[in-house]
Amino acid sequence: AQSVTQLGSHVSVSEGALVLLRCNYSSSVPPYLFWYVQYPNQGLQLLLKYTSAATLVKGINGFEAEFKKSETSFHLTKPSAHMSDAAEYFCAVSLGFQKLVFGTGTRLLVSP
C-alpha cells in the first residue's frame, strides 16, 4: 500500500535560509507525489506535483522538489525562506482512482 512519511512535525529556519522539508514514500508502483501548503485558517493549495515527466519539479513561490527513486524520497526545498512561507506543508501520494493519502504535515516556522 502507498504511504508517505514526513520527518519532523516542525522545522524552524531564519529568513533567507534554505528550507528543506522531508518526505519519503512507500509505493509498490511508480507513484504520483504532491506537496500541498496550508496557510492558517485556509484550505490546502497545491505547491507542485511529480508525474514522472521530470525528476526535478518546480512549483509556486520558488519551491521545488526532487524525486529520487533510489532513496524513495520527494523532499521539498526553497533556497531562501521568506516570512510569508510560514505555513504547514503536506506531502501526499496518489493511490490511483483520484484518491490521495497525506502525510502528517510539517509546520514551517520562519524567524526574522
Partner 1 sequence: DAGVIQSPRHEVTEMGQEVTLRCKPISGHDYLFWYRQTMMRGLELLIYFNNNVPIDDSGMPEDRFSAKMPNASFSTLKIQPSEPRDSAVYFCASSLRRGGADTQYFGPGTRLTVL
Task: Note the residues at the interface with partner 1 (CB under 8 A).
Answer: 32-34, 36, 41-46, 49-51, 90, 94, 97-105
Instruction: Decide if 71 contacts 5 (C-beta within 8 A).
Output: no
Question: Looking at beta carbons only, is 22 or 49 nearer to partner 1?
Answer: 49
Q: Residue 57 carries which side chain, given as an amino acid letter?
A: V
List, in order, residues 6 or more apart from 84 with CB less than 8 Å away: 61
Least gap, CB of 19 to partner 1 (angstroms): 21
Least gap, CB of 25 to partner 1 (angstroms): 13
Question: Looking at beta carbons only, is 23 or 81 nearer to partner 1?
Answer: 23
Question: Looking at beta carbons only, is 28 or 42 nearer to partner 1?
Answer: 42
**Phi/psi zone of residue 16: left (φ > 0), alpha (ψ -120 to 50 degrees), beta?**
left
Least gap, CB of 112 to partner 1 (angstroms): 27
Least gap, CB of 44 to partner 1 (angstroms): 4
Question: Looking at beta carbons only, is 14 or 61 nearer to partner 1?
Answer: 61
Other beta carbons within 10 angstroms of residue 58's beta carbon come to: 11
Sign of the Cα pseudo-torsion (109, 60, 3, 19, in order): negative
3 state SS of 51: coil
